[in-house]
Structure 1
Amino acid sequence: MKILSLMLLMLCSLFASGAESAGAEHIDLSTTWVGILCLIIFVVGYYFIAAEEKYHVNKAKPALFIGTFMFMLIGIYMVIHGMDVHPLNNEVNHLILEIAQIVFFLTVAMTYIEALIDRDVFNTLKYNLVSKGYTYKKLFWLTGVIAFFLSPVADNLTTALILSTVLLTIDRTNKPFLVAGAINIVVAANAGGAWSPFGDITTLMVWAAGKAPFVDFLSLFPASIIGWLVTALLLVKSVPEGSPHFDPENEPKFSIKKGGKVIIYLGVFTIVSAVLGHQLFHLPAMFGMMFGMSLLGIYTYIFKKVNKTEEPIGLFHFMSKIENDTLIFFFGILSAVGALHFLGFLDYLIKLYDVFGLSAINIAVGFVSAIVDNVPVMSAVLKSNPSMGLDQWLLVTLTAGIGGSMISFGSAAGVGVMGKLKGIYTFGAHMSQAWKIVVGYVVSIAIWYVQFEILGIY
């Protein structure tokens, strides 16, 4: 399915290769040998990204290769043909600025998450859930609600990984509960991430690009929560009756370690700093995040001095645990999409918007993101930069965010949960319930239409 979708992108790109770009420095190289070669490299590279589990190659490696190699080929072509390389230089400089904002932002967010993990904040959450004697259905709803409201802050992937671990802690053998609970967590995490700039990489990209102010993302809350609730109401029917067994004698008890609550408060203040700095001073959001990271560094230094502990707690200790391959992946895939944009292959999006209309294409983005991945899809939309109002930018943010839930590997949250619940939460198990997710997706779009297009509330 991924290969077919990429072939569709390739055909559409070739169809629109002669389209004019709105950019003053745009050069159409889509029909040249370097354009065709780069497109082939992108398709092949993305295949290895999608088939990460099959070939046991980290997706960051092919992403980094195609993202850098494509620009090197473009530079070689332009020098051979005596072309002015300043447009290429300007494109790369602009691209580096975009990527740096995202990478620095994610670095801070991931560092704080590692700090909270180190202080047993999430282990305490797990213990409190499993030790209360709740029924399977109540645990289904609790994990879903937590996923929906945690992902806007902790991002959808981290939220899904934490709560899928909670599911395994609750009961490793009850497959109907685990499958329904896993799907519910994926849908809730993606839906919750759609109404916050911090909830998903795509919402962060839209916010960083200045397409919507921070407050306006909150207007997607009704569409996000109602769509998830509809899916959850359909899923809960497959959750078994009864309660999981819990033995307090054999289960380790957790509580938040010293300093954990302060780190939580610092994390909240960091987010507030990023928002206010962006809204009031027009600073990049990552600037406020980096300020928050500096506060974390100062606090951990004071913590060690005051408590006279040799425990490995500190800013750089937390940073050493973050997944650098994730950051490299984003650099590579965003660079690759930037190369396609410079070559002229993203002009087809403008034509598609002109032919089918804004709403139709933005709704289709959700289905495409479920097959390909929402990051390159959203990057392509932002690079093509169609002329859209705030309502349409929020629609494509919503669909790209929640659309990935329709297929198990359509979102980072889904892929992460598949890894945690191997042999239980599978592609087949997910697709057997996929129609329930599609119903929720349709309901979310209907809520958006009533709220934005009929009532004009946003």
Structure 2
Amino acid sequence: MIKVLMTLIFGSLSLFASAASTGENPDLTMTWVGFACLFIFVVGYYFVAAEEKYTIDKAKPALFIGTFMFILVALYYVLNDLDLNLVHTEANHLILEIAGIFFFLFVAMTYIESLIHMGVFDRLKYNLISKGYTYRKLFWVTGFLAFFISPIADNLTTALILSTVLITIEKTRKDFLVPGAINIVVAANAGGAWSPFGDITTLMAWTAGKGTFTDFLFLFPASIGGYMITAFLLSRFVPNTKPDFDASKEVKPKMAEGAKMVMFLGVFTIFCAVMSHQVLHLPAMWGMMFGLALLKVYSYGLGKKYGKEHFNIFHSMAKIENNTLMFFFGILAAVGALYFIGWLALAAVVYDPEILGPTWANIGVGFLSAIVDNVPVMSAILKANPNMGLDQWMLVTLTAGVGGSLISFGSAAGVGVMGKLHGIYTFGSHMKFAWTVFIGYVVSVSIWYVQYEILGFYHIG
């Protein structure tokens, strides 16, 4: 520990001396603005983590610290007569980076809200609970749906939809609801880890060029292997009896006209995003925005045929969780400020082979993402940009994704399900079964090690 601290201190001093002599971005870690921004980030993130305690939406402190930290940095440059063009350039680069992911998520959320409006998920919910399955079979069905839907949609939306199914099936039996909720969170996070757009962290790594579309697909064995172990252990605690449900008394929901076409357009939009990024070398959001344009055209046709209120795409846009997008902007701006100041260069010292090395550092990222949140953790790693090969970038993508399941509030999916199953799925109830998630995490990393480091099977060509 002392060795790490000494490395940080002397590393900071050497970086400052280097910057002064070369004219590059000066290292500000040991200045008043460096310590002030670090303090602001820690305090702000405390309020993000404790949003339920203080009843304050996490987007508010995130947006405040993200914008305020850069203002402080710019003020420091003014007071010390430094080159403000450096701040201007960094801010522009950061905006460009955030915008690509921001609009990608915006389009994805619009499609999800459109499918909800057209009754697609209501129909799915009814089909599940009317089959006469046992609690244990429903546990497995909802888990597999979460695992395979999240790579296409995203882990948060998937978890919210399927946790609604859980509470519809049974409202009181915690022996089904708690393991079922954990199962959905783990499945959604694991499913999102092997898709470039299944989670924000994988989307960030993909758009940053750390791997091609197919490179992420090689994480499938590690993702599903770890999930299956956790699900098997959890299923032992789920009752094997049938819930009380009379399908004859329930009205079978109908999907609105045009719902199937919207589903097709959603899949085609994802295809366009992949082609834009991999073939045309355009940002992935370009293909997503093209898909949004197609949805707008189709909604116009539906309006002409069935009336304007049948499907209004702007109503779907209005229902998007803008607080999630604002949180995303704020936290990435804050991490960008820490990078510009120089703190992330110091944090990257743990990747030095003489300290932890990339493998153990990336495994540790999983535990860190459970305590903090995988979005700022992945953003910090991408900003620090340690010298790693494709195998290590895929490892950190895996651990940042599945590691968030170790604690109930370690991922957006977990926080969303806690809100849906308020008072049932809690931090305490999750920790009773956390050992099952930990075993699955170890299995995922072990599969990665065998596949990537021993067999070398992780890249085409």
SS at match of 2:456: coil
Name 1:371's counterpart in structure 2.
371
> Distance between the aligned counterparts of 2:6 and 2:136, measured in 1?
47
What whole-Å deviation, never above 9, does each CA across 1:95-146 have from its counterpart, x for those lacking one? Answer: 0000000110000000000000001111110000000000111101000000
Match of 1:80 in 2: 79
- TM-superposed deviation, 1:164: 0.3
Question: Cα 1:235–1:88, aligned 2, differ >3 Å: closer, same or farther?
Answer: same
Provide the C-alpha distance between the structure 2 equivalents of 1:298 and 1:124, rounded to a whole number of angstroms: 25
Amino acid at match of 1:290: M
Amino acid paired to 1:343: I
| 2:451 aligned residue | 451
Shift of 1:88: 1.0
| 8 Å Cα contact 2:186-2:402 kept in structure 1 | yes
**1:10/1:184 Cα in 2 relative to 1: closer, same or farther (>3 Å)?**
farther
| Cα distance between partner residues in 1 of 2:404 and 2:27 | 31
Report deviation, 1:257: 1.4
For 1:285-296, what aligned pairs fall within 5 Å after superposition?
A: 285-296=284-295
Is contact 1:365–1:396 with CA below 8 Å preserved after alignment? yes
**CA distance 1:328–1:365, shift in 2 (3 Å):** same
Partner of 2:302: 303
Contact 2:348/2:381 (8 A) holds in 1: no
* Contact 1:188–1:228 under 8 Å retained in 2: yes
Aligned residue number for residue 336 of structure 1: 334
**8 Å Cα contact 1:202-1:397 kept in structure 2:** yes
* Cα offset, 1:351, TM superposition: 1.2
Match of 1:137 in 2: 136
TM-score, normalized by length of structure 1? 0.95
- 2:403 counterpart residue number: 403
Conservation of the 8 A alpha-carbon contact between 2:47 and 2:61:
yes
Over the aligned positions, Cα root-mean-square deviation in angstroms equals: 1.7
Q: Distance in 1 between matches of 2:201 and 2:432?
A: 27
Q: Which residue of 2 aligns with 1:234?
A: 233
How far, CA to CA, are the matches of 1:27 and 1:91 in structure 2? 13
2:28 counterpart residue number: 29
- 2:405–2:437 CA contact under 8 A, matched in 1: yes
**Paired residues for 1:45-194 under 5 Å:** 45-194=44-193
Whole-Å separation in 1 of the counterparts to 2:327 and 2:247: 42
* Aligned equivalents of 1:184, 1:61: Cα separation in 2: 30
Unaligned runs of 5+ in 2: none
Equivalence for 1:6: none
Contact map agreement 1:16 1:345 (CA 8 A) in 2: no
How far apart in 2 are the matches of 1:13 and 1:396? 22
2:451 is the counterpart of 1:440: no
Q: How many Å apart are 1:350 and its aligned residue?
A: 2.5
Aligned residues: percent identity? 65
* AA matched with 2:339: H
Shift of 1:227: 0.4
> Would you say the 8 A contact 1:17–1:30 is kept in 2?
yes
| Partner SS state of residue 17, structure 1 | helix
Q: Distance in 1 between matches of 2:310 and 2:30?
A: 56
Q: Note if contact 2:303-2:310 (Cα within 8 Å) is conserved in structure 1.
A: no
Amino acid at match of 1:44: V
| CA distance in 2: counterparts of 1:10 and 1:255, whole angstroms | 62
Q: Does 1:205 align with 2:204?
A: yes
- Which residue number in structure 2 is paired with residue 349 of structure 1? 347
* C-alpha spacing 1:26/1:105, structure 2 compared with 1 (3 Å): same
Range that drifts further, 290-299 or 25-34: 25-34
Structure 1: runs of 5 or more not aligned: 1-8
Give 1:19 deviation, angstroms.
5.6
Could you report, residue by residue, the CA deviation over 1:254-307 in whole angstroms, capped at 9, with x for unpaired residues? 122111100000000000000011111110000000000000000000111123
Structure 1 residues 277, 166: CA separation in 2 closer, same or farther (over 3 Å shift)? same
Q: 1:11 to 1:187 in 2, by over 3 A?
A: farther
How far residue 316 of structure 1 moved from its aligned partner, in angstroms, is 1.4
Deviates more, 1:148-157 or 1:83-92: 83-92
Give the structure 1 partner of residue 388 of structure 2. Answer: 388
Q: Deviations over 1:129-174 (max 9, x none)?
A: 0000001111010000000000001100000000000001111121
Which amino acid letter does the alignment assign opposite residue 411 of structure 2? Answer: S
1:261 is aligned to 2:274: no
Distance in 1, matches of 2:442 and 2:189, equals: 15
Amino acid at match of 1:68: T
User: 1 CA distance for matches of 2:320 and 2:14?
Assistant: 42
Secondary structure of 1:388's aligned partner: coil
Counterpart AA for 2:331: I
